[in-house]
Structure 1
Amino acid sequence: MRHRTDWLSLLCGLLFVGIGVLYLTGTAPDMAVMALVLVAGLGLAGFVAVLAKAVRKR
């Protein structure tokens, strides 16, 4: 059985994994920049999820 891709979960998971890898390698910028990247990334993931849902309904 196939199911549709949950783009919001996928993109949010990739964002958190990417941030985690940056902190593990010690190359992450300060917290203010990372908070901005996190908020912008979550917003982008939400936008993509809304677009994907709108396309599916057609």
Structure 2
Amino acid sequence: MFETLIQQIHEATAALADCPREVSDAQRIDLIGALEDLKCTATAAQATTAVDFDASQR
């Protein structure tokens, strides 16, 4: 499961690096919203992982 998660993160990162620019304004708004959701979820996952790592080191 962990290796699959890491692979999915790498694939998503690669896909975002090639983000399309020739889209409508409505699509841009949708993309901004989706990216904001992704950013918030990634921040929460990073915080949880950091707390778990800190606890494991004590």
Report TM bin, short chain. 0.5 to 0.7
What is the alpha-carbon distance in structure 2 between the residues aligned to residue 20 and residue 31 of structure 1?
A: 15
The answer to whether structure 1 residue 53 and structure 2 residue 50 are counterparts is yes
Q: Secondary structure in 2 aligned to 1:19? A: helix
Aligned to 1:23: 20
Q: For the aligned residues, what is the CA RMSD?
A: 3.0
The structure showing larger relative contact order (alpha-carbon pairs under 8 Å, at least 6 residues apart) is 1
Q: Which residue of 2 aligns with 1:7?
A: none
Give unmatched runs, 5+ long, in structure 1.
1-9
Give the structure with the higher percent helix.
2
Deviation at 1:22, TM superposition (A): 4.9
Give the gaps of 5 or more residues in structure 2. Answer: 1-8
**TM-score (normalizing by structure 1):** 0.55
TM-score, normalized by length of structure 2?
0.55
| Number of residues of Structure 1 aligned to a counterpart in Structure 2 | 44
Overall identity of the aligned pairs, in %: 5
